[in-house]
Chain A
Amino acid sequence: MNTIEVEELSRNFGQLVAVDRVSFQVAEGEIFGFLGPNGAGKTTTINMLCTLLALSGGRAIVNGYDVVRQRSEVRHSIGLVFQEPALDEYLTAEQNLRFHAYAYNIPKELREKRIGKLLELVELSDRRKSKVRTFSGGMKRRLEIARGLLHNPRVLFLDEPTLGLDPQTRRLIWDYILALRKENNLTIFLTTHYMDEAENSDRISIIDHGRIIALDTPDKLKDALGGDVITLKAVDNNAAALELKERYPELSSGPSPVVQNGVITFSVPQGEKFLPKLMDSFQSHLLSIGIRRPTLDDVFLNLTGRAIRDEEAGFKEQMKGMVMRRGHGR
């Protein structure tokens, strides 16, 4: 049975089409990665699935309940960890969980037992009486995960669950998530910016401009790129990319050479055989050459024309880039 079924789901904000006739299914017990650049429609989709936002068109069924007509049943059966922290910082960890238990009508005899068990799971038992505002970012996230699970949901929505956390904490949080999934056959709907985390997904869907442009297992998505990824750095990247396209027209049939972050990226079926050929006759002056197996970053770059990491770089970063480019101009 599918936990989530989405058919032709759409949402407009005035003239803007944020989500455009999106369809997909998520099987029970699956970790479903939902990736896309900022503004691609990820959060809009999650908000519709969680009954926080009205649909403009289409249909969505979560745990067998319609998100429009059976809102209350949907809410009872889902757990959420939001992108932005959503805890009451002036209450203690325990009070936050208890509020949640009251709101979801968890019977008294189960309430304290579950709160204790979950606090133990996320290793916050010794801080249960501390105010949340004294917690670190990682502790808050852990508490939110515990809260999201308190009412035994069958599907957990994780919207950027590890954003802004250090690598160690990220690892720890993923350990919890994977353990939970194993234990309870929990379905997990995940959005993330971190490609190494997306690797944990059973299937990944990539959304851009409100449309799903790819949906498959991480391995198949990588295989679809065909072979190896070659990165070149030339004195003049644009000229070198042009030369590549002219010399190897077959490249443009696959993922065509893209200039990104000062390197040219493209893929070929057999990198180790392609490189010597390239070296023999390439005219542009090359500074460095790299060859590697494709990653999800490459998949994302190829499909959207942008590296997902760039999405995180804010305006400041971009400005800095511009100033630097100017400074080094000829």
Chain B
Amino acid sequence: MEEVFRGMWVVAYRELLRFVQERSRIFSSFAMPLLFLVIFGAGFNRIIGAMTPGVDYIQFMYPGIIAMTVLMSSVMSGLSIVWDREFGFLKEILVAPLGRSGIVLGKAAGSATVAVIQGIVMLVLAPFLGVSLSPLMVIELIPMLIIISLSLSGLGVLIASRMRSQQGFQIIVQIIIMPMMFLSGVFFPVNNVPTWMEVISKINPLTYGVDAIRQLFLGQAGNAIGVTVFGHTMTILQDVLVVVILGVVLLSIATWSFSKQE
């Protein structure tokens, strides 16, 4: 047990050390969400705005963009495993007396910390977008971001556990992560879309993460356009519960897949 905790802490420690030292990574993880916010916000405001009664399109999109930032940095934690495997450092970790599940949880914890920091930095934009923030909201947002990023890191590690090359990982990102991002309700509500799209959106864990953050930010107006499952509109707590369950499942499979000795 002690080896699991030590594994968790050393891996998370290194993750944070790397994050602090790579300033370009901090910047680049904001670039894409910000780009979407500005371009989509300006371009679709009038068109999609009609689908989101009571809220401005940018206000609608903004909470989702925060979730997207978390998704990006969580997936990056998977990429860093593939990177370590390619550059040999993974061997140093694997041959050390550390519990395998600790290594997976450490990766997830490290990237969750990074994701929370990035999510909070995104809050700086709130006043410019006309989204009102209260200290309570920020306090509630932090555990939410931690839960979302832990479970999405589970996904990242799971993909990475069997990947040998960065190219392979990039392809998986293209065919899994990109659709996940677009079909999560970040850019448009997923209630009034073709059935096939609605089905995919509603088995997408990110959808519930986005919905939880949106309802937290927009209150009553957010609930009115919230995700419905079989006619029932999800509450924040139910959204979070879905993410927690998915996270436990994903992290368990990731640990199992990663620890299987070759």
List residues of A whose CB falls within 8 A of some B CB.
Answer: 50-54, 72, 75-76, 78, 80, 82, 84-91, 95, 99-100, 102-105, 147
**Which residues between 72 and 116 of chain B lie within 8 Å of chain A, taking CB atoms?**
87-89, 91-98
Nearest B-chain residue to A79, judged by Cβ:
B95
A90 and B95 contacting across the interface, CB-CB below 8 Å:
no
Alpha-carbon separation in the docked complex, A194 to B202 (Å): 60
Instruction: Kindly count the residue-residue contacts between A and B in the assembled complex, taking CB atoms under 8 Å apart.
Output: 69
How far apart are the CA atoms of A91 and B17 in the complex, in Å?
8
Q: Is B198 interfacial (CB-CB < 8 Å)?
A: no
* Chain A residue, CB-CB nearest to B13: A102
Contact A105 B6 (CB under 8 A): yes
Chain B residues 1-54 with CB under 8 Å of chain A are 3, 6-7, 9-10, 13-14, 17-18, 21-22
Q: If A52-B94, A103-B6, A104-B96 touch, does A86 touch B262 (CB 8 Å cutoff)?
A: no
Beta-carbon nearest neighbor of A80 in chain B = B95
Q: Is the CB of A54 within 8 A of B22?
A: no
Known A54-B261, A90-B22; judge A103-B98 contact (CB<8 A). yes
Q: Contacts A52-B91, A86-B88, A86-B89 hold; do A100 and B14 have CB atoms under 8 A apart?
A: no
Task: Among B14, B22, B91, point to the contact of A99 (Cβ < 8 A).
Answer: B14
Residues of A contacting B9 in the complex (Cβ-Cβ under 8 angstroms):
102
Expressed in whole angstroms, the minimum distance between the Cβ of B176 and any Cβ of chain A is 27
Cα distance A54–B259 in the bound complex, in angstroms: 12
Bound CA span A54–B262, Å: 6
Seen from chain B, the residues whose Cβ lies within 8 Å of a Cβ on chain A are 3, 6-7, 9-10, 13-14, 17-18, 21-22, 87-89, 91-98, 261-262
- Secondary structure type dominating chain A contacts: loop
Chain B residues with CB below 8 A from A85, complex form? 87-88
Contacts of A86 in B (CB 8 A): 87-89, 91-92
Q: How far is the CB of B97 from chain A (nearest CB, A)?
A: 4
Shortest CB distance B24–A (Å): 11
Also in contact, A103 and B10, with CB within 8 A (given A50-B95, A87-B89, A90-B21)? yes
User: B residues within 8 A CB of A53?
Assistant: 261-262
Closest chain A residue to B261, Cβ basis: A54
Report yes or no: B89 in contact with A102, Cβ–Cβ below 8 A.
Answer: no
Contact A103 B17, CB 8 Å, known A53-B262, A72-B3: no
**In the complex, which residue of chain A has the Cβ closest to the Cβ of B91?**
A86
Cross-chain contact A89 with B97 (CB below 8 angstroms): no
On whether the beta carbons of A82 and B88 are closer than 8 Å, the reply is yes
With A53-B261, A91-B21 in contact, is A103–B93 under 8 Å at CB? Answer: yes
| CB<8 Å pairs between A and B, sample of 21 | A50-B95, A52-B94, A52-B261, A54-B261, A75-B96, A80-B91, A86-B89, A86-B91, A87-B89, A87-B92, A88-B14, A89-B87, A90-B18, A91-B14, A91-B17, A91-B18, A91-B21, A100-B92, A102-B6, A102-B10, A102-B13
Chain A residues with CB under 8 A of B89? 86-88
Across-interface contacts of A50 in B (CB, < 8 A): 95
A103 to B7, CA, bound (A): 7
Q: Kindly state the separation between the CA atoms of A9 and B96 in the bound complex, as whole angstroms.
A: 23
Give Cα A52–Cα B18 distance, bound, in whole angstroms. Answer: 26
Determine the distance from Cα of A38 to Cα of B93 in the docked complex, in whole angstroms. 26
> Which residue on B lies nearest to A84, using beta carbons?
B88
* A103 CA / B9 CA spacing, docked (Å): 9
Bound-state Cα–Cα, A82 to B10, Å:
21
CA distance A51 to B259 in the complex (A): 12
A226 to chain B, nearest CB (A): 42
> Which of chain A's residues has its CB closest to B260's CB?
A54
What's the least CB distance linking B26 to chain A, in Å?
Answer: 14
Q: How far is the CA of A80 from the CA of B18 in the complex (A)?
A: 24
Distance in Å from the Cβ of A287 to the closest Cβ of chain B?
46
Given contacts A52-B261, A82-B92, 15 further A-B contacts (CB under 8 A): A52-B95, A53-B262, A54-B262, A75-B95, A78-B95, A80-B91, A82-B91, A86-B87, A86-B92, A88-B89, A99-B10, A100-B92, A103-B10, A103-B92, A105-B6
Q: Which chain A positions have C-beta within 8 A of B10?
A: 99, 102-103
- Whole-angstrom distance between the alpha carbons of A90 and B20 in the complex? 11
Q: What chain B residues lie within 8 Å of A54 (beta carbons)?
A: 261-262
| Chain B contacts for A82, CB-based, 8 A | 88, 91-92
A19 CB, nearest partner CB in chain B, Å: 14
The residue on B at minimum CB distance from A13 is B262
Q: Which residue of A is nearest B86, CB measured?
A: A84
Q: Complex formed: what's the CA distance from A130 to B247 in Å?
A: 39
Q: How far is the CB of B177 from chain A (nearest CB, A)?
A: 24
Nearest A residue to B97 via CB reads A75
Roughly how many angstroms separate A91 CA and B89 CA in the complex, as a whole number?
12
Alpha-carbon distance between A76 and B95 when the two chains are bound, in angstroms: 9
B97 / chain A contacts, CB cutoff of 8 Å: 72, 75-76, 103-105
